[in-house]
Amino acid sequence: MEATGQKKGFLGKQFFAVLLFHFFFGICLFTYIRQTREPESAPCSYPPSTLPGSLASPENTSSPEKKAPELTILLWTWPFGQSFPLTKCSTLFGIPDCHMTADRSWYHKADAVVMHHWDVYSGPSRLPREPRPPFQHWIWFNLESPSHSPNLGAMNGIFNMTMTYRKDSDIFSPYGSLELLRQPHNFTIPAKTKLVAWAVSNWNPGSRRVQYYTELKKYIHVDVYGRQHKPLSQEQLLPTLSQYKFYLAFENSLHEDYITEKLWKNALTSGTVPVVCGPPRQNYERFLPPDSFIHIDDFPSALELAQYLEQLDKDPVRYERYFQWRTWLSPSISPGWIFHYCNACQFLHRTKSYQTMRSLSTWFR
């Protein structure tokens, strides 16, 4: 009898377990059916990608309808006294706007004051005389090389932000750049009827570039344009240079990252191969493909450079290799002064951290 009782107890427990299983299974089934009959939930929304030229970031996408507060940027002076329309940055470059003004009555409210070196370097009297508000950025703006930036020592300990062509500036504002194309492009090399050209405005016989040219012209013909040579208007600059296979993109001084419109506009935009004289090749390769230019330092002498250019002139296949990079890249030059001020606007919207250069004369050299 005891064994029979144990068997009945065991069967009762089994029955209870099965009943419990069906009960939970029914609940799960009911929940599943109910969910499948309800409208689908909205798809997941991912924050927009942070791309060049876009201010979107994971930190500021939680409230897309909320606009970033407009910043005020005061131009303490017009650069070199050249005024220009303060067109909205959103219209020109598709970035959030700043209130741009050259009215100094905005000084106490301005989030940033941009001071162009050549317009303030003569001394403290050219700078704001009233104390700087604690929230305000004083931006030192300079596109000239250290060799052509006088009185740098007078600028020490004044500014808390920099905007120059130097890559390590707070606001990197280069003369030009390469843009990645969305799809490969068949670049057509402009028709070439001439060999080497050089357009030079400031002729200094003691400079390295003039001395190198003086040696180079002994071995190869160079057409020179400029104030003391063949006249060439701005309207005819690019059409004329495009006829040449090579252009001497010789900088007026040799400094880190100092790569100007001589390369970006005169050579690359015109569709010729630049022969560069400036910082070392490694510095150029921070901004350009290695096979997009010829560096004078690649050759022991001007004679050997001249011989190389003549070899390329007679070998179309080798010459055309200097244009292969254009399949995916396109040169772009800064479209005037407003570009740099909008660049500052974008930086101030995007970035909270910056570095303070206490000694500009030590850093900028």
Helix (H) or strand (E) holding 314: helix 302-314
Q: Read out DSSP for 185-248?
A: --PPPPP--EEEEEE-SS--TTSHHHHHHHHHTTTS--EEESTTSB---HHHHHHHHTTEEEEE
Write the single-letter amino acid at 318. Answer: R
Long-range contacts of 296-300 (CB under 8 A, 24+ apart): 296/212
Closest listed residue to residue 81, CA positions, set 124, 125, 120? 120
Q: What are the beta bridge partners of residue 172?
A: 164
Write the single-letter amino acid at 162. Answer: T
* Annotated catalytic residue within 38, 40, 130, 144: 144
- What token pair was written down for 126? 């050219």
Active site residue 310: no
Burial class (CB in 10 A: 0-12, 13-18, 19+), 17: exposed
Q: How many whole angstroms separate alpha carbon 135 and alpha carbon 259?
A: 33
C-beta of residue 189 within 8 angstroms of C-beta of residue 218: no
Helix (H) or strand (E) holding 276: strand 273-277
Owner of token pair 């009215």:
103
Cα–Cα distance list, 224 to 66, 141, 213, 218 (Å): 56, 32, 10, 14
Owner of token pair 């070199």:
80
Sign of the four-CA dihedral 275, 279, 282, 288: negative
Residues 6 or more apart in contact with residue 241 via CB below 8 angstroms: 197, 199, 247, 266, 267, 270, 272
- Tell me the catalytic residues: 144
